[in-house]
Structure 1
């Protein structure tokens, strides 16, 4: 495992004097404290720790009020200041015992799946713990001071899996840029930390910042109007679920108040919805401004097509707006118009203290934002049951069918009995500019889960190349049998590729949680689905059995 020492950055996330160059922003490593002896084991002295000649030493006698011989300097209860530690940063993708990620192309000629993992620079959103009444001595080492982000909050971890279709341009864009849109939205919304109080006064109530609330509502109204003007169609009456100030019945004269939960116009849900819609807006607008070459063949079918067939949006000539701090050096989605898209799911993990979320004693909060048919699961430590945090956005889903029936009457059923809309199996995705007017949006489904210490064993993020072949319980049971998250990803992807008739691109991420060591205790371990998995494997090894 690669370990790099560095000097921590002390820039504040929302400090007026903090320039974008001083902010750490997204990074693919996490910060922690390690004892210096673990980095330099040869530095520890060998032999007696006193520096007296052996002739002057005397045996220890109990009952004299002296320190026992086992209590070496720097190990006692009050020896905190002398404990020497070093701040290190560890690449998350190299921490094989904490995280694993694998993506393969299967039997496809190329791989359109991507994934991302690291720490994102947004304020902490974990539920704050009660303050302890215990006090430490001045200068004593505090283990909760390790692993802080540049803003002073505990690190917020970010994991994402993206499944492209029609090409890899959109999934690569999401892998490289979506976390930047989330950071940018958090800064524009002026999000505050959930574990810090104003002026560091315990129990003080923050006054409502009307300017910040008004700015957040203006941003929501701006992105909705931008979609309405650019695409039209479905977006003419588009009101995102978490944009409460824009819902029907909300009076324009009323000033929205800041509160807690999804009803807050500046909630985490509203911020993530804005980030997803803004990212999709830039990608869609970038593709619309590109021109495509007219067909040169003399095919009469092509000649009968309308002249403005390539004008898929209302104003295709308008350039893409890159609202982020760092501009792209290349056009979004390549030099030619990209008509494909990508589904995706992200999970952000925040803790109330800098103690990492994989510690068995650490509670945490997980926020999931999901679009399409990628999937995120949790595995309970008590009974080993898979807990899905996402639902597929397909035309057959009741929620999606109700949302789109008024706008998309072109639901068709393919030869396999699956409903599709405009040829797409997903009703929510990034890109897919030809289907935007029918309602294929990137409005995310957002789920928040409070994790108690050791309540869950691990979290799995996967593309449909895995979830279409394995059930949720089969997936978590395969993970239970692995020794490390990295090995678990390899086992899941290998099994899904082996038993699939037409192996799609497969991607799997496994994140260790506090109950990892107890993953095989509850629910009979991995035996519940072993018979079914063995049957699938035998059936895949005997191709003649599939012939009718």
Structure 2
């Protein structure tokens, strides 16, 4: 598959994907090499302060991550965290121009039928997103490739290509092209996975063999395009948050009042939206011997890979949602409250990404409460890393039997939530019930 062509309003990006994040030493005087107070009077010194370059997955104070196979023979879950650079529109003295701007991204991938698809996504998804050049011509070319090579469901999608582009293209008020970029790059990458899986299946002589994977990703960038120092977890910062969803992994945010809010809808056969999307193939919906709803024997109606189901609508088309997060005072000042999660006005505490090995056993509020109570017991000595590990340990203790992965991402209001454990009794009951079952064995 050829790379899509550049469009005039975008610049051609160079490959800048990084596993590192640059943390400014906020209280450092470059003249005396002593710590200083960060106030408005020394903001220039702050901007010019030396930085610590730290691998994202080795920054436990800001990003926690944990994955465990549980009772499965292998762990097919994967996750990734990177800083990429994407084109953003800058209004410079009344003239719009596109410049490269840093964007943090984190993802959870839940593989099935093997780990080849989740491995591929872990290594290649963010590279594909950064290198894709969104355009009408490129989108049409990608959809035509699916129509010609796969057919079925994609013939209907190709007929809607103009409507899809109109829905996803950036308008005059947008400062990014992420919606179109994500849709186009996801399909491009899915096609690469399908070619890989098709080749592997032919080599093995088993055409029914092939892996797939879910993908839940978040993207965060500072709305102040000129500011490449402050990140999403800093105070006095407003960030744009995108959630891109394929499958049934989950993204959850903790608001400043400690309430958990789900940021995505899972792609299951029980979903009315998915049932409508796949109505032409309604004969593929069934219930297995365990009482679980399936589509073509798949638990998810959208996924990367899954070659056999691709012509019937098992697609990697992402659902994309967007919010404003960050400093509540700045959000109020710029009249952005309606774009915040549940219109609560910002000062969010943290994000959590989990695979269904977590979400099938614990509710959103349980997960959020577990992070908060883990921190509350030790306060500043507890990092997102310890919180992510505690979530996985809890699910294991209550009988989790599927691969379980958890990412905890610190936001600007980390640690400043009410000390109110809403699900403490529920978690205690689940733990007691699990112990009781073990004793009866």
Q: Which of the five TM-score ranges fits, normalised by the shorter chain?
A: 0.7 to 0.9
Shift of 1:419: 1.3
- Measured at CA, do residues 507 and 237 of structure 1 come closer, stay the same or move farther in structure 2, by a change above 3 Å? same
Higher relative helix content: 2
Counterpart of 1:58 in structure 2 is: none
Work out which of the two has the higher radius of gyration on C-alpha atoms and give 1 or 2. 1
- Deviations for 1:163-193, whole angstroms, at most 9, x for unmatched residues? 00011100000000000110112xx12xxxx
Counterpart of 1:315 in structure 2 is: none
Q: Distance in 2 between matches of 1:498 and 1:461?
A: 20
Counterpart of 1:474 in structure 2 is: 366
- Deviations for 1:14-67, whole angstroms, at most 9, x for unmatched residues? 767xxx8xx4521111123326969999x669xxxxxxxxxxxxxxxxxxxxxx
Structure 1 position 341 matched with structure 2 position 223: no
What does residue range 456-471 of structure 1 map to in structure 2 within 5 Å?
Answer: 456-471=348-363
- Unmatched runs of 5 consecutive residues or more in structure 1: 1-13, 46-70, 132-150, 190-215, 251-255, 296-308, 313-337
- Deviations for 1:57-84, whole angstroms, at most 9, x for unmatched residues? xxxxxxxxxxxxxx99x99947957997
Higher relative strand content: 2
- Measured at CA, do residues 491 and 294 of structure 1 come closer, stay the same or move farther in structure 2, by a change above 3 Å? closer
Task: Assess if the C-alpha contact under 8 Å between 1:260 and 1:267 holds in 2.
Answer: no
Structure 1 residue corresponding to 2:401, chosen from 488, 503, 511: 503
- Measured at CA, do residues 76 and 542 of structure 1 come closer, stay the same or move farther in structure 2, by a change above 3 Å? closer
Counterpart of 2:343 in structure 1 is: none
Backbone CA RMSD of aligned residues: 3.6
Secondary structure of 1:289's match? helix
Structure 2 residue corresponding to 1:111, chosen from 72, 75, 82: 75
Q: Distance in 2 between matches of 1:267 and 1:94?
A: 30
Structure 2 residue corresponding to 1:487, chosen from 382, 386, 407: 386
Task: Assess if the C-alpha contact under 8 Å between 2:62 and 2:409 holds in 1.
Answer: yes
What does residue range 22-37 of structure 1 map to in structure 2 within 5 Å?
Answer: 23=14, 25-34=16-25
Counterpart of 2:427 in structure 1 is: 533
Q: Distance in 1 between matches of 2:144 and 2:247?
A: 24
Shift of 1:120: 1.0
Counterpart of 2:4 in structure 1 is: none
Alignment size in residue pairs? 400
What does residue range 300-311 of structure 1 map to in structure 2 within 5 Å?
Answer: 310=207
User: Under a length normalisation based on structure 1, what TM-score does the superposition of the two structures give?
Assistant: 0.66
- Unmatched runs of 5 consecutive residues or more in structure 2: 1-9, 328-345, 376-381
User: Under a length normalisation based on structure 2, what TM-score does the superposition of the two structures give?
Assistant: 0.81
Task: Assess if the C-alpha contact under 8 Å between 1:124 and 1:156 holds in 2.
Answer: no
Q: Distance in 2 between matches of 1:79 and 1:221?
A: 47
Q: Distance in 1 between matches of 2:440 and 2:293?
A: 25
Q: Distance in 1 between matches of 2:307 and 2:403?
A: 23
Structure 1 residue corresponding to 2:86, chosen from 122, 142, 165: 122
Q: Distance in 2 between matches of 1:223 and 1:505?
A: 33
**Bigger Cα displacement from structure 2, 395-404 vs 27-36:** 27-36
Q: Distance in 2 between matches of 1:244 and 1:31?
A: 40
Counterpart of 2:415 in structure 1 is: 517
Counterpart of 2:235 in structure 1 is: 360
- Measured at CA, do residues 514 and 416 of structure 1 come closer, stay the same or move farther in structure 2, by a change above 3 Å? same
